[in-house]
């Protein structure tokens, strides 16, 4: 087991290294930061001097190795945009994104599983069909439009929920949270729905179809034949078996949630790393971009690993030979 974790870890690190290099070589094509740093008054000489100082005239591979070397020591450089160390900026922004991602994922998971189970059990019911059809509307519109429509309805027209930001935050054990205050909780509602809606639909439909398959299995028939209550069958047996594939999807979707947070955070001015990344792209703030991609990449690797381990926890069949399972 331990060897398995180690092996996955190194695979992950290798992947990260490659992804990082590809990303890094792409940065040179998305513009250069000189105008942003120097302002419109700069002369040609100023620009050359800056290029030299930033090392942007060196080959990509050299720049990348330098970045990696520093990154190994926890040194991610300093933002071109405002001179603040990247690690500090990311650390400051990460809690906001993590809170948003987790709340969105929980929203997607709970509502998705709930509706999925409901629509599976009442397969041909009117309400179930209605839910199935309307849920498709949520995935037939792009995220940014949903966000803007929510702002329009709930902030501008109804004036009941905030249109931007995290609201009031407090620091609990060094973690700046918006989940402990009323305004913070109010602020997270619209962004979390915007971000989680797609995943909610996905989870719901997946749960439904998996559940329908599970409900047709012999062991569910056998459970019925044993005279178990509907409740025990649906939740004790069917749901647990249904969730197995759902966990994989959730793992992948958590990655998607973090990536799509870029859009949600832009729409709602949510002060997380996604917004930081978009700003960095606009400013060609290479250290921030590189660190963000590295961070997101590591998150994906960790999530993947956690999902694999979770599989082993839930599925007893994998416990003995977990290393061979996947």
Partner 1 sequence: MSDSRWLRWWQSDVMWSWRRSPVAIVSTAVFFALAFAAIFAPLVAPYTPFDPSSLNLMDGFTAPGETGMGSGNKYWLGTDDQGRDIFSAILYGMRLSLFIGVMAVTLAAILGISLGLIAGYFGGWIDAVIMRIADIQLTFPSILVAMLIFGVARGLTPPELRDQMAVWVLIISIGLSDWVQFARTVRSSAMVESRKEYVQAARLIGRSPMIILRKHLLPNVMSPVLVIATISLALAIILEATLSFLGVGAPPTKPSLGTLIRIGQDFLFAGEWWIILFPSLTLLVLALSVNLLGDWLRDVLNPKLR
Partner 2 sequence: MTTNALLEVNNLTVEIPTRRGTLIPVNEVSFNIDRGEIVGVVGESGAGKSITGSAIIGLLDPPARIAGGSVTLQGKLISDMNENQLRDIRGKRIGTVFQDPLTSLDPLMSIGNQLSETAMAHLNIGRDQAREKALQALIDVGIPAAESRLDAYPHEFSGGMRQRVVIALALIGDPELIIADEPTTALDVSVQAQVLMLLKRLCKERNTGVMLITHDMGVIAETTDRVVVLYAGRVAEIGDTRQVLTAAIHPYTQGLVGATPNPTNLANSQERLNQIPGTMPGLLSMPAGCPFHPRCSEVMEVCKTTLPTLSQRENSTIACHLGAEAKT
Partner 3 sequence: MTRKTLSAAVLFALAAQGVMTAAQAETLRWARAGDSLTLDPHAQNEGPTHTLAHQIYEPLLHRDMSASVIPALATEWAPTEDPTVWRFKLREGVKFHNGEDFTADDVVFSLERAMKPTSAMKELLSSVASVTKVDDFTVDITTDGPNPLMPSNLTNLFIMDSGWTTDNDSAEPQDIANGGDNFAAKNTNGTGAFQLVSRVVDEKTILKANDAYWGKDEFPLEVSEIVFTPIQSAATRVAALLSGEVDFIQDVPVQDLARVGGTDSLKIVNAAQNRTIFFGLNSGDEDLTSDNVEGKNPFSDVRVRQAMNMAINRDAIQRVVMRDQSSPTGVIMPPFVNGWTEALDAYPAVDVAGAKALMAEAGYGDGFSVVLNCPNDRYINDEAICQAAVGMFAQIGITVNLDAKPKAQHFPLIQNRTTDFYMLGWGVPTFDSEYIFNFLVHSTTDELGSWNGTRNSNPDWDAKIVSLASETDLDKRNATIKAIWDGVQAETLYLPIHNQVLNWGMNKSVNFDVQPEDQPHFKFLTFTK
Report the nearest approach of partner 3 to the CB of residue 91 (Å). Answer: 12
264: contact with partner 2 by CB under 8 A: no
And the tokens for 42?
Answer: 């700069």
CA distance 181 to 72: 37
Q: Which does 159 bind (CB under 5 to 8 A by kind): partner 2, partner 3, partner 1, none?
A: partner 3
Cβ 140 to partner 3, closest distance in Å?
21
Six-digit token string for 78: 């300093």
User: Cβ-count burial of 120 within 10 angstroms (0-12 exposed, 13-18 middle, 19+ buried)?
Assistant: buried
- 183 binds, options partner 3, partner 2, partner 1, none, Cβ within 5 to 8 A by partner type: partner 3
How far apart (Å, rounded) are the C-alpha atoms in residues 215 and 237?
Answer: 9
- Nearer to partner 1 among residue 179 and residue 250 (C-beta): 250
Q: Does 177 contact partner 3 by CB under 8 A? A: no
Q: What are phi and psi of 58, to 5 degrees?
A: -85, 160
217 binds partner 2 (CB under 8 A): yes
Phi-psi region of 181 (alpha: psi -120 to 50; beta: other; left: phi over 0): beta
Residue 218 touches partner 2, criterion: CB under 8 A = yes
Binding mask 50-89 for partner 3 (x = CB under 8 A): x--xx----------------------xxxxxxxxx---x
Task: Report residue 51 as tokens.
Answer: 């290029």
Among 3, 29, 225, 324, binds partner 2 (CB under 8 A): 225
Shortest CB 222 distance to partner 2, Å: 4
> For residue 110, how many other CB atoms are within 10 A of its CB?
13
Q: Which of 8, 19, 47, 98 binds partner 3 (CB under 8 A)?
A: 47
Residue 300 as a binder of partner 3 (CB under 8 A): the answer is no
% helix, strand, coil for the chain, step of 5: 75, 0, 20
């Amino acid at each position: 087991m331990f060897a398995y974790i180690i092996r996955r870890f190194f695979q992950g690190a290798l992947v990260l290294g490659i992804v990082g290099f590809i990303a890094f070589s792409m940065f040179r094509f998305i513009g250069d930061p000189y105008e942003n740093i120097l302002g419109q008054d700069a002369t040609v000489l100023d620009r050359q001097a800056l290029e030299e100082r930033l090392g942007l005239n060196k080959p990509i591979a050299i720049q990348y190795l330098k970045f990696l070397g520093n990154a190994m020591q926890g040194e991610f450089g300093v933002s071109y945009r405002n001179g603040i160390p990247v690690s500090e900026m990311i650390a400051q922004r990460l809690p906001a994104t993590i809170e948003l991602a987790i709340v969105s994922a929980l929203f997607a998971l709970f509502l998705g599983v709930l509706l999925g189970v409901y629509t599976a059990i009442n397969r041909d019911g009117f309400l179930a069909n209605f839910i199935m059809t309307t849920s498709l509307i949520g995935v037939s519109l792009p995220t940014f439009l949903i966000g803007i429509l929510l702002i329009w309805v709930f902030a501008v027209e109804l004036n009941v929920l905030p249109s931007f930001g995290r609201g009031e935050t407090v620091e609990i054990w060094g973690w700046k949270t918006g989940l402990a205050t009323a305004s913070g909780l109010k602020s997270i509602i619209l962004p979390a729905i915007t971000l989680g809606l797609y995943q909610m639909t996905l989870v719901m439909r997946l749960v439904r179809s998996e559940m329908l398959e599970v409900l047709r299995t012999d062991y569910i028939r056998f459970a019925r034949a044993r005279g178990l209550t509907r409740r025990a069958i649906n939740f004790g047996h069917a749901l647990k078996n249904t969730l197995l594939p759902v966990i994989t999807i959730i793992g992948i979707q958590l990655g998607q949630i973090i990536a799509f947070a870029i859009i949600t955070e832009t729409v709602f001015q949510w002060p997380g790393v996604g917004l930081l990344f978009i700003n960095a792209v606009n400013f060609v703030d290479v250290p921030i971009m590189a660190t963000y991609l590295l961070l997101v990449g590591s998150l994906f690797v960790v999530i993947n690993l956690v999902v694999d381990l979770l599989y082993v926890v839930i599925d007893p069949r994998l416990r003995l030979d977990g290393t061979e399972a996947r």
